[in-house]
Amino acid sequence: MSKLLIAGLGNIGLEYAATRHNIGFDVVDALVYKHGGSFRIDRLAALAEIKWKGSALVCIKPTTYMNLSGRAVKYWMDKERIEIENILIITDDIALPLSKLRLRPGGSSAGHNGLRSIEEALATEAYPRLRFGVGNDFPRGRQVDYVLGKWSEPELPLVRLKIEKCVELVESFVGAGIDRAMNEYNKLEITL
């Protein structure tokens, strides 16, 4: 049975719940819930283990805060003996519009502190990541307020639909591989 690590990035604490920066947590929550799993607090992360199409998925939400996400990802990769191509990091991305998802086998952190931490911990940029577009509708110099802000009421229906699409994408990544999942989901324009 193959084993994969699915890591949703975010910050712990109620003040960060339902913010753009915590969308990785929200996607992993939806995945685990769909497959009947539940989280428990463990070393450096909230952890849930689920099965999908003959694979064991170790799902984590790091409790290290975004800027130290790499510590949790590296710890659970090593502990569970998971190869780098069998991890998937899920995170927010202001460079993508709200209608887009982008799955990649590697690439730069593009200034994202969570991805930068993972890159440092793994000593490579070559790890799969799913970027959830959150848009960039903020005035100059207000990026932090924007990503740490809650979704607006009009955005929520689309956000919920995109979370469902992300869960399907993760299932495709696990069941069919990254190339097929990229071909199927990267070109989608997700709208209501």
Element (H, E) at 23: helix 23-34
Residue found under tokens 């997700």: 190
CA 103 – CA 98 distance, rounded (Å): 15
**10 Å Cβ neighbour count for 171?**
18
Give CA angle at 174 (171, 180), nearest 5°: 85
Output the six-digit token pair for 89.
């990091």
Catalytic sites, residue numbers = 21
d(C-alpha 36, C-alpha 149), whole Å: 30
